[in-house]
Chain A
């Protein structure tokens, strides 16, 4: 994992001191809210429905045990005992006090964390594949490049006042686990025909009210020009992105309106100019960064054998672990979508992405003991222990069971992405979480039979819940003061990214749960062979679903 050098630490400490002073002046009255608001937002502090909300950056979703423990401690010390892991691989706290925030930021800085650039029209936290460095299906580890981009984009003076927020994702695998093509810039590390490693740039993707899948803008950028090309992409956007209309200000609109060819041409022009300025960081810096991402000291010659005689453990291994590049190791996914079975047999689903302070510390301890002190936050609001010995899996599972963290439902219909929705968010039009809970409770017994089905719920058109990319997507809207839910089918965020289509008129809260159930019944009645829900939908189209749901 990357460790701060004294420059990183000095920058973060200086920001804490500055914000402490700004907060003092706001409370004393020498700074108006109008002037203070952009300052607090630059430090991730929003004012939400119930209180201030603090969004903490988790660079490319990677955390150490000590950092994770701090997140749990902050939940208990300053919040109400829990935090919410987000679709941006970050964590949010919902009940923060302004007067506590400088102390929270100081606590975060003590473990090399911060909340800088988690809001505002700047380059936000860089996201990445949560299996980076652990999976066998990647070309190289993309994290050194994500870290290089983090350093380049942090406090970049030219890009602190972009037309709109800007999100960059880096992956190095054809199996896109990070929704790469739904970012402002999606970077995939690739190999060209000559066998050289470089980066493919997809620019102008995004969700929100106008979703676009990012088109390929340049198929191969040498890795020693990664920053220069990124800078060129941003410069063209910063120059021509629309500032007159917030809803048309994202780069996806610029790329769409200019056309990919013209946008690419302008980027090439800027790129050629920037190459003369030698802005690329020295190779030595990249090499320095790479040393932090060297493989941990894996044990050699470990067995891949597992005793799967315990059915619950076997189900968890099947659903929640993934192949590791090193024999004898596994990647463990910890679902934050629990479903409790009550004494009377009814089910009670948890809140997607929420974890208590104690649960966060349990995961931190597990990472320290069993995963080379490393964790990842996923954009699907789950947690990953990237390097666990298979011989330790049963023990890890038992500890997760004891902490209510062992739901074996990864990528199943109950592993739902849901934004905070109207229960917490000032922008939302409808609640997302109760809908997710009702669907999970209704569908829990069918989840295994249905297999992979990615369901995503947003409480408004801003699409923080990624509804456009759900095999089943749900969008909450306000219809004459009442919550209403639109159903979308056919979205996907992987290598075969597609955008969901609205099936028809919306539903109330109970109606949408029934509609989802009917959609799964259509799938089960029509599936052929090993088809997933998405495959069946793509083969048979929307009509059979429409007939079943509205018929």
Chain B
């Protein structure tokens, strides 16, 4: 699947496009297919997101798993400070 991520303009928080709005949780991300470019353009113009881009991910039994480790770290938090993660189930193994 292809999902959109970016950072909230004001807070800088990592956000994920859920099909209608931005969510802080990767598991809310919507599979965007070919619509991504239009969404990114509109949302950046509306200043609701900064630096949005499309990434590859897969739906797993545990939720949505971004393909690249960098995006998994963005989704779950620094592996060395998972106490700061928004996902209470986050573990280094889950990130890696």
A453 contacts B by Cβ under 8 Å = no
How far apart are the CA atoms of A99 and B13 in the complex, in Å? 12
- Given contact pairs A96-B12, A481-B69, A47 touches B50 in the complex (Cβ within 8 A): yes
Please report the C-alpha to C-alpha distance between residue A165 and residue B41 in the assembled complex, in whole angstroms. Answer: 32
Which residues on B sit within 8 Å (CB–CB) of A71? none
Q: Which residues of A contact B44 (CB under 8 A)?
A: 33
Asked if A422 lies at the interface with its beta carbon under 8 angstroms from chain B, I say yes
Q: Which residue of A lies closest to B92 (CB)?
A: A434
A351 in contact with B80 given A27-B9, A47-B51, A98-B12 (CB within 8 Å): yes
Q: Is the CB of A33 within 8 A of B50?
A: yes
Kindly list chain B residues whose C-beta atoms are within 8 Å of the C-beta of A47: 7, 12, 50-51
| Given A434-B92, A483-B69, also A27-B50 (CB < 8 A) | no
Tell me which residues from 38 to 69 in chain B have a Cβ below 8 Å from any Cβ of chain A: 44, 47, 50-51, 68-69
Q: Is the CB of B11 within 8 A of A97?
A: yes
Give the interface segment out of A8-16, A49-57, A189-197, A337-345: A49-57
Residues in B whose Cβ lies below 8 Å from that of A49: 14, 70, 73-74, 78
Closest to A45 in B: B12
Tell me if B69 and A50 are in contact (CB < 8 A): no
Q: How many A residues, CB 8 Å from partner? A: 28
Residues of B in contact with A, size category? 20 to 34
| Complex CA distance for A51 and B7, rounded to whole angstroms | 7
In this complex, what residue of B is CB-closest to A23?
Answer: B10
Chain A residues with CB below 8 A from B21, complex form: none
The reply on B27 being an interface residue by CB < 8 A is no
Contact with B along A54-94 (1 / 0, CB 8 A): 00000000000000000000000000100000000000000
CB within 8 Å for A52 and B47 given contacts A47-B7, A431-B79? no
Question: Could you tell me the distance between the alpha carbons of A422 and B92 in the complex, rounded to whole angstroms?
Answer: 13
Chain A 25-47 interface residues, beta-carbon cutoff 8 Å to B:
26-27, 29, 33, 47
A117 to chain B, nearest CB (A): 22
Q: Is the interface of A mostly helix, strand, loop or mixed?
A: mixed
Partner of B47, one of A29, A431, A483: A29
A112 CB-CB contact with B under 8 Å: no
Cα–Cα, bound, A369→B74 (Å): 41
Q: Is B73 a contact of A423 with CB atoms below 8 Å?
A: yes
A428–B10 CA distance with the chains assembled, in angstroms: 24
Measured in the bound complex, the distance between the Cα atoms of B68 and A526 in whole Å is: 43
- Specify the chain A residue showing the minimal Cβ separation from B14: A50
A424 near B50 with CB under 8 A, answer no
CB <8 Å contact, A33 and B51:
yes
Q: How near does chain B come to A449, taking the closest CB pair, in angstroms?
A: 27
Q: Within 8 Å CB of B10, what residues of A?
A: 27, 97-99
Q: In whole Å, how far is B61's beta carbon from the nearest beta carbon of chain A?
A: 22
Flag whether B37 is at the interface (Cβ < 8 A): no
Q: Are the C-beta atoms of A51 and B12 separated by less than 8 Å?
A: yes
Assess whether B84 is in contact with A424, with CB atoms less than 8 Å apart. no
Q: Could you tell me the distance in whole angstroms from the C-beta of A439 to the nearest C-beta in chain B?
A: 14
Interface residue A487 (Cβ < 8 Å from any Cβ of B): no
A433 touches B77 (CB 8 A): no
Q: Mark B2-46, 1 if CB is under 8 A from A, else 0.
A: 000001011111100000000000000000000000000000100
The CA-CA distance from A52 to B11 in the complex, in Å, is 8
A437 beta carbon closer than 8 Å to chain B: yes
Which residues of the other chain, B, contact A26 by a CB distance below 8 angstroms?
9, 47
Specify which chain B residues have a CB less than 8 angstroms from the CB of A50 in the assembled complex.
Answer: 12-14, 74, 77-78
B29 vs chain A, min Cβ distance (A): 17
User: What residues on A are CB-neighbors of B78 within 8 Å?
Assistant: 49-50, 423-424, 433
Task: Specify which chain B residues have a CB less than 8 angstroms from the CB of A27 in the assembled complex.
Answer: 9-10, 47
A481 to B84, CA, bound (A): 25
Bound complex: CA A541 to CA B87 (Å): 48
Q: Are B80 and A434 neighbours in the complex by a CB distance under 8 Å? A: yes
Q: Which residues of the other chain, A, contact B9 by a CB distance below 8 angstroms? A: 26-27, 98
Distance between B66 CB and nearest chain A CB, rounded to angstroms = 12
Q: Is the CB of B12 within 8 A of A52?
A: yes
Q: Which residues of B contact A483 (CB under 8 A)?
A: 69
Chain A positions within 8 Å of B73 at CB level:
49, 422-423
Nearest Cβ distance between residue A77 and chain B, in whole angstroms?
A: 15
Query: Could you write out 20 A-B pairs with CB less than 8 Å apart?
Result: A27-B9, A27-B47, A33-B50, A47-B51, A49-B14, A50-B13, A50-B77, A50-B78, A98-B11, A99-B10, A99-B11, A351-B80, A422-B69, A423-B73, A423-B78, A423-B80, A423-B81, A434-B79, A481-B69, A482-B69
A residues at B contact (CB < 8 Å) = 26-27, 29, 33, 47, 49-52, 80, 95-99, 351, 422-424, 426, 428, 431, 433-434, 437, 481-483
Task: Give 4 nearest A-B pairs by CB, closest first.
Answer: A51-B12, A423-B78, A52-B12, A99-B10
